[in-house]
Amino acid sequence: MLRAEVLGAMKVQSPTRLRNYFAHNQLRRVAEEFEHEKSSLGEEMRRIREERDSIFAEKENVTQKYNDLLRSQDELISNHTATEGKLAYELETTKAYSQKIASDLEKSKDELARVQSRLEGYMVEKDDLHSRLSMAENSAATALKILRSTLKDYVVELFDDLPDDEDEDLGTDDDEDGDEDNDGGDDDDE
């Protein structure tokens, strides 16, 4: 390019025209470099804009994810607080119920001990009553034997005291004709 400019300048005879020629060529080169630089800068600006838009989009996406994470964290904290409160309430309720069961168990143990004591008393009383009943049965059997023996002796003595002629006690007489008189001895001779 420089060789072409020199050859072109050799054709110009006037110094003024030569200066103008070089100035014009310099201006044209500057303009071409400016256009080239402008094009390069435009391309760079477009690339920068694209990167900027990509960064903004990524920032928006990251911001959205961050907000979602914040909401999730708030929900987790809220759920944790609610769950913790519910668990605390259930724990207190369970403790109270457990204490009530323990109290009822102690009462049941005491009641069972009282029932066991009463049962043992009943068993002792039952054994005593059974012993007394056996003694009463033995006494009754002995008394019955004595009563039977005494009654037997009394019957024997009673039959021993009876008269030998039982016909007089019965009030029956036999007459010569074979007739029985139940009126005390009146006979009918006719």
Write the pLDDT tens digit of every residue in 33-72.
888 888 888 888 899 999 999 998 999 999 999 999 999 9
HEC string for 112-180: HHHHHHHHHHHHHHHHHHHHHHHHHHHHHHHHHHHHHHHHHHHHHHHHHHCCCCHHHHHCCCECCCCCE
Return the pLDDT at 84. Answer: 85
76: tokens are 């987790």
Write the pLDDT tens digit of every residue in 67-103.
999 999 998 888 888 888 888 999 999 999 999 999 9
CA 2 and chain centroid, separation: 101
- Residue ranges covered by each domain of the chain: 2-158
Write the pLDDT tens digit of every residue in 143-185.
889 988 888 888 887 777 666 655 444 444 444 444 444 444 4
Return the pLDDT at 69. Answer: 92
Return the pLDDT at 67. Answer: 93
Tokens 């929900």 belong to 75
Return the pLDDT at 13. Answer: 54
Return the pLDDT at 102. Answer: 92
DSSP letters along 25-47, please?
HHHHHHHHHHHHHHHHHHHHHHH
Mean pLDDT taken over the chain: 79
User: Is 1 strand, coil or helix?
Assistant: coil
CA nearest neighbour of 26 among 8, 53, 49: 8
Contact in structure between 180 and 174 (CB atoms under 8 Å): yes
